[in-house]
Structure 1
């Protein structure tokens, strides 16, 4: 006992003055005694050391190792499940504020990984066709095969439409129906192949409409890649009108037929505008005609080139069909299509005459600025010419909207003459047509 404080082996303090037991000196003495008591193992006594330090040396590292293994296993399982989920879900490839109708591409072999349409629903009906018709060899000039379609023949080109030099057009049979094959030629390079597939993706992204030719699918599993389109018996409307001019009985055009076909094209145009797509090349050469005289709007190459900002070495549109704002600023807007639609009506009622045939292309814009407009053809009724006039105002704001245009055409269809066949006395002169339409002005007039 010193200073009233007694130290004992149980590290307790007995003192007469208990306040001194709580001083810092006493606390430090207690800490040293605790440390000395923990270091009780003799030198070289490993078993004692392991028992004393087993929590720090064995238990904690073991727990950390188990935690790491569990984390790695969880990441592997999560990655595997995510990969399977990606394969089984269908991503939204084309986004639009306008809801597109359901569409189903038919009978095309489109393996994932190389086809821009790989996320479409593609039943593999072509495999069955291949087993049934192994002996069917397409008649192609490239020496390659275009799938295993039946009765493949080359579609002849016309004088007034120059098709893309890198694309061959063929007629074929698939699943007991006629189809048109747009095959990329073997001489195409990688950039041209990519543009071909991008165009197919662009057309597919527009969705289905009853008055737009249906893209049935794309074949990329073999070379060359092929777009498969529905076949329209009478092909382009311009050629159809010229056959009507020659008096072929299957091509009789009445005013009611003009209203009916124009309503169908206007409906397709309204749909494209709803998809935020300005066509930019509305003309008779861009309309396809089915066996039942259903008109479907095609010629989407111009719209694709503008959206993809693809330079094809020249415009794909003829100037005499273009609106004044396009001729001055090269800007395409929805009302620009309305102007071009008015020239389409003029082509239909004249059985294939070009608009502004009497004007050289170099003077067209100047004459339009002076108020020059399309003249009323002798075969055109007052109601039809009034619609043409409403389409061809100089100011885009004064032109009729496409929705109103559809309503006017439907109303005109109900009262139009469906008995009298439109006749044009002037015979067809293709050379004269090409000059008056403005071909040969360093433009590429490919209709994709």
Structure 2
């Protein structure tokens, strides 16, 4: 049995849906299908999830939402008409959305329930289209499938009892189409995962049914070793380990949600990333381990939008509990951190800029000064992070030397380096303005023939 997940670009239009159906029909082992909400049809289009967020905001605000509702319904109508299906499924879709609007109290779960209508609508349409194409197929709601999650709107976590319930899907003979992105709490409330959570659903379902393979169809032939918007026609990666993909996803690779592989990883289920528009391409395999691990760099991940919180205090290393108290201040202000390299008198904390606005910055700085009695505290914004990723890289001589030379060659100063905290990656902090040329120079150093 294979579990197959189709992303937003794969189900964005009727023509894409036809490709999806063809891919499913081409392999009888593709028995469980997980789908996203319709994505962008072109660069100027709007994702269905964003249309639903706009609708939800108007419903919650108590403003007129009819135009926003019409835009959502129109997206699905374009697909239904293009597939030459009757209007029954479209009417069901519209009725489901209206029922959510009319039956929900105005709370955090209203936003989740409306956002989930995108994936739910795709699943309803695809299941019906597969049936009209002659296949035995069925729409399966996540509650029916057994996906039980924590009651945390917008950031649900799957609960262990889901695995046993999902395994029962193996007893069904139809092609099962499950909407991604959401599950149901033990109290019966619909709750979504974080944005991009359809990848999480796919991985959860693959783990639950103990699939032979989890295929994730997107709009690229494979994972590239570097961002193709920075380096023209970069090399493909044929095989990655789970750890490598997790690091790459976290550090800016947009192919996978950075939490998505955890359920598959725990069950050691191989994952293959493939292209809906070129399904015969081999794609990229993600496996628990590969025999040829020689410590080479397999990818370069990069992202901007970071800041550095720098704290200095003489004899910091002798002050018991200093690091804990510093991080406690961040926790009190609901700020999560990414990295925290330190020295004997200094400590830096890397934070995403979106976590700390100017108001929070003033409050955090004041608390650090007053409560920790530091010699200096400063915040530097407009930072970027670059990660070299590869299993066993820290056991290979010369990686850091080659990397620092690549930065030097393009006059990019390394503000921070973090090596040793992970056996899979080496991280560099630089000014965001030097990001592109630094990545291009690193690619030349590690991947150019």
Tell me the TM-score normalized by structure 1: 0.29
Find the structure with the greater CA-based Rg.
Answer: 1
Tell me the TM-score normalized by structure 2: 0.29
